[in-house]
Amino acid sequence: MSSLWMFPALIAGILTGFPVSFVMLSLAFLFGWSTFGAEGLLHQAVLKIEEVATAQVLAAVPLFIFMGAMFEASGIASRLFDAIHLWTRRIPGGLAIGTIIMCVIFAATSGIVGATETVVGLLAIPAMLRHNYSKSLICGTICAGGSLGTIIPPSVLAVVIGPVANASVGSILIGMVVPGFMLAGSYIVYIFLRCLFRPEDGPQIDSGEPEPSMSERISITLQVLVPPIVVIICVLGSMMAGIATPTEASAMGALGTVLLAASYGRLTWPAVVDSAMRTVRITAMILFIVTCGSIFAAVFVASGGLQALTDLMQALNLGRWGLLSVIMFITFIAGFMLDPLVIILIIVPIATPLVTAAGFDIVWFCVLFLVMLQTAYLTPPMAPSIFYLRGIAPPSITLHDMYAGIWPFIGLQLMVIVSIIVFPDVVTWLPTMLTQAR
């Protein structure tokens, strides 16, 4: 039972402001040394370092990050934003709807929440303010759209949660497709209906402005919008068809983004260097956190913490749905304080054996877990997505606007979570179908 004290100690360490990775590593060494001695602790640490270093699927992490970094650094994102709004700006809430579509495309190239929200926010906020959009709608759109990086494949978090949960990364990425587009679709429908009945929230652009002809719009779309979508389809399609593993698909996507930048004349040396350096920094951070979290979880399990937790759950007699509710509640609360990557490394290794023993499908659980993380990411009072928004929003947008704008989108998130729980096929149908087709 003494190993259960690792979690209160972890929370206390995090509250000191010390980096989470070092807190996990320090506690793993402290508890491991007292339980196994130096040799046993060293064995656990070396074993987990070797696991992370040799996990082929984690090679997809830097490739997906490079894909998004090149997409941004080459200037493709700004051209894509303009091309989307050629088609959406004349409908109610068109700029906000186009922003959600842009978030979906960018999320499918970067797989990182912060990058999606920051890049799209810098492009979309000035345009929506210029056309007198409701500030609360602007905030809700940017925060909710940016958070799609968690659940729209290819997501870096899905690549990380797969090995931790001992589940197929390919199946998780494929299982995320339907819930991800359900979320994006619900956002679009809400924005359209809100601006249809309250035109002042998302006014249509003045018809007096010059409008490109249909042939011009089609030409711009073919040049700017179609090539990135082709790259995304190749990445996801190759995984769905079983032609490529997630790592091979990520390499294809990284190469496709480089070729895309070259075809637009944006493949410059500064863009390549900037993309490479960002990839190195983010990848080093992610893999170091993964390694520290793996050592922490290994010490907890080996010292009997998992068995103690299992016995505690059985004594409480919660039942399978009670168990799932407790795990989701802890995940939601943890999402207020911790980075999603850290939450995965702390909770998933402990929860996976319990969930599997309760008879839940592990791919379904991983997708539900990620959607819950996304909801916590949006929810006040902490709401990490709002902190990203505060960093890029002009002074005219207040914290009150941000909190007011996010609640309708949280409601849509909860509706999708309920749909996933009540109808598990929302997640499992596509992976099962593709597996049978192969």
Mean pLDDT by 10 residues, the chain (438 residues): 72 75 85 80 83 80 82 74 80 90 82 71 85 91 87 83 87 91 94 92 70 78 80 81 81 87 83 87 82 81 72 76 88 75 82 88 94 85 74 84 90 94 92 76
Closest CA to 192 of 89, 84, 88, 93: 93
SS (H, E, C) the chain: CHHHHHHHHHHHHHHCCCCHHHHHHHHHHHHHHHHHHHHHHHHHHHHHHHHHHHCHHHHHHHHHHHHHHHHHHCCHHHHHHHHHHHHHCCCCCHHHHHHHHHHHHHHHHHCCHHHHHHHHHHHHHHHHHHCCCCHHHHHHHHHHHHHHHHCCCCCHHHHHHHHHHCCCHHHHHHHCHHHHHHHHHHHHHHHHHHHHHCHHHCCCCCCCCCCCCHHHHHHHHHHHHHHHHHHHHHHHHHHHCCCCCHHHHHHHHHHHHHHHHHHCCCCCHHHHHHHHHHHHHHHHHHHHHHHHHHHHHHHHHHCCHHHHHHHHHHHHCCHHHHHHHHHHHHHHHHHHHCCHHHHHHHHHHHHHHHHHHCCCCHHHHHHHHHHHHHHHHHCCCCCHHHHHHHHHCCCCCCHHHHHHHHHHHHHHHHHHHHHHHHCCHHHHHHHHHHHHHC
Closest CA to 278 of 7, 62, 1, 48: 62
Give the model's pLDDT for residue 209: 57
Name the pTM for this structure.
Answer: 0.81
Give the model's pLDDT for residue 387: 74
The dihedral region occupied by 24, where left means phi > 0, alpha psi between -120 and 50, and beta the remainder, is: alpha
C-alpha span between 131 and 394 (Å, rounded): 15
The answer to whether the peptide bond before residue 154 is cis (omega within 30 degrees of 0) is: yes
Give the model's pLDDT for residue 210: 65
Give the model's pLDDT for residue 111: 63
Give the model's pLDDT for residue 279: 86
Give the model's pLDDT for residue 244: 82
Closest CA to 371 of 346, 340, 338: 340
The answer to whether the peptide bond before residue 384 is cis (omega within 30 degrees of 0) is: no
